[in-house]
Amino acid sequence: MNQNLDLATLPTSLKAGNSWHDRFSQWLERLYASPKLYSFSLTNPFTRWVTRRRTQKLFDLMAGFVHTQVMLGCIRLNLFKMLHQAPADLKQIAQRVNMPEPVLQRLLLSAVSLGLLEYRSQSRFGLGPLGVPLATHDGIAAMIEHNHLLYADMQDPLGFLSNAWQGSMAAYWPYAHDAQAATRAAQDKFSRYSDLMAASQGFVVEEILSTYFFGEHQCVLDVGAGKGRFACDMAAHAPHLQVKLFDLPPVLELAKNNVQQRGMSDRMSFYPGSFLHDELPKGADLVTLVRVAHDHPDDVVKQLLQKIHAALPLGGVLLLAEPMAQTLSESYSGPTQSDAYFHFYLLAMGAGRLRTPEEIMHLMAEAGFGQIEHLPNAMPIHAQLIVGRKSKCLP
Ligand SMILES: C[S@@+](CC[C@H](N)C(=O)[O-])C[C@H]1O[C@@H](n2cnc3c(N)ncnc32)[C@H](O)[C@@H]1O
């Protein structure tokens, strides 16, 4: 089986030939390829760090799989939570995790070299700067554990590219490859991915609530609401809001339980359905679309954005938040490796893709939105935010 993929739009400046940037890149490429310059740069204390840093980065790319497996091994042994309670030495840790000291030591030393753990006094190990979030945020550990599905699918990268939807990641996301798969899937599949999404949503919610001002709105419709974590956090953050939740019926059943547990049932209403086949409920003056568009191909996103536009009153707002691809201007200050992760994750998942903010803004404009703005937020790796408004002018 294979599916058609949407082509990303390349920035227009890349299409024009022979730009100054091309000439500069070619010059740099020649420098990088020169063995003489390589040797010279290592003997010169002013340039040595540049060459060392480039070599280290390349080494890290080569070793990436080992790094992620070290992290997964530590998570599976519960080391981060254990050492967060109190640092411990090799013998104590070996007894607790029931592993021979010589092999465990390899894992601990590797984790130290990656900044996950660090040495403490009396030969003990404690948490390193990168280990602290892993001990305190269960959502990160859940994503790292979940990634083993992706890495298993990607063992043969070229085979994966031509057969991406055959793997275990595609089976994990029942709605993402074809519309019917969602209705055939068992409830436990919806529950599994919804739990993962709720666990990993905290960082995204933080970005949205600290960036967007909800004061002008009365009622919000969260499309693809999952278990309702964002809806509840938003309702707690802005107590004047009423919230409507829209998602596939099995997912909304999970959301109802969650909302009830958080004691927010009186401010929430539930609209089970599929945005592929059903209209969206009216009555909200803000629609939020959090980590939904990137799961779907362009034709589905266009249809969804049109439905959102139709459901909003004049002057209503769409707020879209999800991880986005690096733009051309950002790429000049160095590549971001998070794009590669999302390109492959979304490919393995189904038919979606990572889009640049410009691509999303273009799709929103096509659906009829105006005053489209890319809101600057503190931690774009978690999500970037774009808002657009339905014009108050009569058509
Ligand atoms: C990646 S999850 C994001 C959930 C939540 N917004 C978050 O950020 O954690 C995408 C959500 O879109 C929902 N979804 C996918 N296809 C849908 C469809 N056709 N109609 C309604 N919801 C859909 C999924 O059930 C899922 O809850």
Per-domain residue ranges for the chain?
Answer: 19-136, 170-390
Give the distance (Å) from ligand 1 centre to CA of residue 151: 23
According to the model, what pLDDT value does residue 3 have?
63
According to the model, what pLDDT value does residue 178 have?
65
Distance in angstroms (rounded) separating the CA atoms of residues 100 and 341:
34
Ligand 1 atom at minimal distance to the Cα of residue 275: 20
CATH superfamily, with its number, for domain 170-390: Vaccinia Virus protein VP39 (3.40.50.150)
Out of 54-68, 113-127, 145-159, 319-333, which region has the weakest mean confidence (pLDDT)? 319-333
The CB of 295 under 6 Å from ligand 1? The reply is yes
According to the model, what pLDDT value does residue 176 have?
74
Closest C-alpha residue for ligand 1 atom 24? 224
Distance in angstroms (rounded) separating the CA atoms of residues 302 and 310:
12
If you count them, how many residues does the chain have? 395
Ligand 1 atom at minimal distance to the Cα of residue 300: 19
Closest C-alpha residue for ligand 1 atom 4? 226
Give the distance (Å) from ligand 1 centre to CA of residue 114: 34
Would you say the CATH fold of 170-390 matches that of 19-136? no
Q: Is the pLDDT of residue 204 over 60?
A: yes
State pLDDT tens for residues 342-358: 999 999 998 899 999 99
> 70: buried, middle or exposed (CB in 10 Å: 19+, 13-18, 0-12)?
buried
Q: Is the pLDDT of residue 313 over 80?
A: yes
The CB of 276 under 6 Å from ligand 1? The reply is yes
The CB of 298 under 6 Å from ligand 1? The reply is no
Q: Is the pLDDT of residue 1 over 50?
A: no
Provide the 10 A C-beta neighbour count for residue 187: 12
Which residues touch 13 (CB under 8 Å, ≥6 apart)?
A: 19, 21, 328
Ligand 1 atom at minimal distance to the Cα of residue 226: 27
According to the model, what pLDDT value does residue 270 have?
98
Give the distance (Å) from ligand 1 centre to CA of residue 280: 14
Closest C-alpha residue for ligand 1 atom 11? 224
CA 346 vs CA 155, 223, 291: distances in Å: 16, 19, 11
The CATH number for 19-136, chosen from 3.40.50.620, 3.40.950.10, 1.10.10.10, 2.70.98.10, is: 1.10.10.10
Give the distance (Å) from ligand 1 centre to CA of residue 195: 12
The CB of 173 under 6 Å from ligand 1? The reply is no
The CB of 275 under 6 Å from ligand 1? The reply is yes
The CB of 224 under 6 Å from ligand 1? The reply is yes
